C-alpha cells in the first residue's frame, strides 16, 4: 500500500503545468486569430443572408407570375401577398384561382425574419426587403433588396 502511494506522489510531483507566460502567449495567439478570422466569418454570414433573401424573392416573383397567368393580373397592394395563400375578397375577381393557393400556409420572411414589403397596381409589382438594418435605404448588407415583375 505504501509503495502505491509513493508512486502516485512521484507522478503528481513530476507533472508540471503551464507557466503564466506560456498561457499569455496562447491567449495572445488566439486573440490574433479571432481578430483576423472573425470579421471575414461575419461578412460571409451577411453575404449568405443576402443570398438567401434574394432566392426567396425570386421564388416569390415566380409565384406571382403563376398567379398572373391564372388571374390575369397581379394582386394589388391592398390584396397583398396574402392573396397567394387564400383568395382575396377585395379587388378583381380571380376565376382560375388555384384551389390550394400559391404558397403553403404562410408567407416566407427575409433572412432577418421580417415580412417582405409589397407594392402593386395589378399590372406591375415590387417586392422589397429592408436588409440587415430593417430600415429604408442603407449600403452593403444594410441595403434594401428589391425585385419586380421584370426580374
Contacts of 123 (CB under 8 A, 6+ apart): 73, 74
Distance in angstroms (rounded) separating the CA atoms of residues 41 and 118: 32
- Give whichever of 17-21, 88-92, 144-148 has the largest mean pLDDT: 144-148
State pLDDT tens for residues 72-124: 999 999 999 999 998 877 766 788 888 888 988 889 999 999 999 999 988 99
The domains located in the chain, with CATH, are 55-151 (3.30.700.10)
Distance in angstroms (rounded) separating the CA atoms of residues 73 and 100: 18
Q: What is the pTM of this model?
A: 0.70
Distance in angstroms (rounded) separating the CA atoms of residues 85 and 55: 19
Strands 145-148 and 117-120: unpaired
Distance in angstroms (rounded) separating the CA atoms of residues 134 and 97: 33
Percent of the chain whose pLDDT exceeds 90: 44
Amino acid at each position: 500500500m505504501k509503495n502505491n502511494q509513493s508512486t502516485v506522489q512521484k507522478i503528481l510531483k513530476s507533472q508540471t503545468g503551464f507557466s503564466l507566460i506560456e498561457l499569455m502567449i496562447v491567449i495572445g495567439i488566439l486573440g490574433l486569430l479571432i481578430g483576423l478570422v472573425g470579421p471575414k466569418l461575419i461578412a460571409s454570414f451577411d453575404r449568405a443572408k443576402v443570398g438567401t433573401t434574394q432566392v426567396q424573392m425570386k421564388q416569390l416573383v415566380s409565384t406571382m407570375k403563376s398567379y398572373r397567368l391564372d388571374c390575369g393580373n397581379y394582386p394589388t397592394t391592398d390584396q397583398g401577398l396574402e392573396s397567394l395563400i387564400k383568395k382575396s375578397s377585395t379587388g378583381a375577381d380571380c376565376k382560375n384561382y388555384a384551389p390550394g393557393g400559391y404558397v403553403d400556409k404562410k408567407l416566407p420572411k427575409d433572412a432577418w425574419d421580417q415580412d417582405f414589403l409589397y407594392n402593386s397596381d395589378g399590372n406591375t409589382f415590387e417586392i422589397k426587403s429592408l436588409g440587415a438594418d430593417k430600415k429604408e435605404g442603407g449600403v452593403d448588407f444594410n441595403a434594401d433588396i428589391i425585385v419586380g415583375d421584370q426580374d
